[in-house]
Chains A and B, each alone.
Chain A
């Protein structure tokens, strides 16, 4: 075994298998890499690629029935000795001494990885107590120091708080403080920013980078986001179905990828950096055409007093895609649901122009009118699992709106088959249940259901956020193809600026229930006028390691109320 002086962790031909009823599932199959002091290795892959299992195998915390079946994990200790972690008993004393002390881990969900019944000071200090038996007063000093390092404001009061009193970003900082408590040599971060908003993500990435430099740690960073990889990685490991597809420096992987899968992965990311090809070919939408949807001063306050939608005005022209972008809690989903009257806005107008030229205010529409109008204005949901009833076949799901519109018999069967073909599904699959389909295919089913009754406007709420990046552009392309074929207009709600840039003609930026900026996508993306938009844009990881932007990002602090994160 050869190791350079700076190598801390060397994984050789790691194999982690899951014995299932149907056979052996090779979650990790022959993965090798080397972690260097002060360097960041990013393991990137789509869902199911085995990247998380790789990380968990190192600490031997793979969920049952997973087991390390082969390979070695050499840990080079500070005292010069070397130990093979793969040979240790997963419940033994030795591996416990490694966990938290030499190798620390932070997880994706800051909500569930912290205990709600202990004060954060106790949770951070726990590792110190277990590994070093540090006395209480000293422990408190050390925890305060850690809280300062992770930049939690007012550490003296924060130390005695409970986790639920913190926002997601602050909880992730607490997690990081916990991981740093014993000065580990290796930090494993398993999708630590996936559950966070993009501006919060930028803060956390920044923090990890700075701490890594000051502590000289090696970081193993698991992510599915190529943009994040480009921003922080020194080296990249691309995984697919448990195997390493490519391993190299970040520059080589991004600018001279050798493997086909890597090429496709980077291709699908880079594709989303530009305007969609379909849109380039289109003629401009006449700016003076009468708008299809004209929303004026719409407001909705929830009974809790939260102003979810605050004086929103926007227009959607025929054949246009209007993007609504904002972070979680900005009210964009609520706004979209107001357009379909799933929620009833309390004030304003939602003027919808019907095919015959007459205009109707959706906000005041009565029940029969609403039933009629909901065939013209449809919705595509975010969650491809929850939006399809698991107890109906795909054919039944797509047929439902048609049946309710009075279609029967052979005509109905033909229409369902036609719709399935239109969205790229085999009509022969109509007898299958949703559980037999992947996320991308389920989203296609949802699209087929939406276009079944020939609508004119579709509200798509985060239609692609639950999908892997390579499927995202496929679904977006399908939506644009249908737009051309059926003359649709979209209100496209997303938190992802790259998807908006790819798909939308115009964009409105929402922040705390208000629209802070609206305009042509090109103009908003390239020349934002509002500070929040600038902050949002500059926090987006840029998938080019030669042009790292996050460090020089613009920070937006909302007037009066301090920003979250």
Chain B
């Protein structure tokens, strides 16, 4: 079973880069354009991992992560967030919202794949 990954980002170019990297590595990708969209998609099915931007319109990543952690069907799903800051404060806030791991932008596609592989238990 191919691992299904939900990527949430308001930037089409980041979404595309992410998708290209992940599909090349054999993952199947579902995209969402903001927090609200991400949450809606997370309600419909269980994903193997969720990758999200933090700074997004409509609903930001922090809020979305919090909400997702309340969804029974995403119980224990790794939620990775992308951040441009090395700001420890933001990481702590994302972690306490329920995020699993993070990746600092800009990242190489390989780093992303590596991270996703890393959080998915083998």
Instruction: Decide if A and B are genuine partners.
Output: no
